[in-house]
Amino acid sequence: MTTKVNKTIMVNVPISTAYRQWTQFEEFPHFMGGVERVTRLSEDRLEWVAEIAGVHRRWEAKIVQQDMDRAVAWAAVEGAKNAGWVDFKEAGPSQTSIHLSLEYEPHGVLEFLGDKLHIVERQAESDLKKFKEYIEKQTPETGTAAASGTAATESTPVIDPVTHPFDQTNGLANIDGDSDGTADSDTLSAAERKRRDDNPPGYIPPPPSALP
């Protein structure tokens, strides 16, 4: 008697990313419970080693369908009788709906018992959740701050006009409007500086008409 399992999950990655990750069969042990190893034997052949319902099994499967960004299906050609396929549907710009279907034929007391307890069904649901966590963790995070670079953190400081009055002298005058220590020599002509140096403090210059 063949048992069928159907599960669906939404992942927050583009459909091409979800499809590409799922077809990396060798990485199945990262998120599929019970799968010990998947080895690609050829372009369309895979060797599986796993524990199903407490029973250690090995089988060879053939990829019977592979449509880019749409679906992938496989079926056992020897060993454990099972088959599976996955459909990918775009649910948004960065969201994909993944539907997993499995068919298997239990053998032996332990597998029949596991079938009655729905162990494989619960395992499939857990595997999809782990796949979601695995693939979303692999996708780098992006944000407006990263996209805008340093522009998001650098800004022009706001100047308070009350505490920082506009200064047309570019720093040569203090807040009271008086010249600073360097303004005097920097703004006098050569002749004016000579007269200042030749006359002692308190000297009263003659009227302009008396100057040579």
- The tens-digit pLDDT sequence of the chain (212 residues) is 677 889 999 999 999 999 999 999 999 999 888 889 999 999 999 999 987 667 788 889 999 999 999 999 999 997 667 889 999 999 988 999 999 998 877 665 445 444 544 567 888 899 999 999 999 998 664 333 333 333 333 333 444 444 445 444 444 444 454 444 444 444 556 666 666 666 666 656 565 555 55
Per residue, what are the HEC states of 164-200?
A: CCCCCCCCCECCCCCECCCHHHHHCCHHHHHHHHHCC
| pTM (global) more than 0.75 | no
Distance CA(77)–CA(61), nearest Å, equals 5
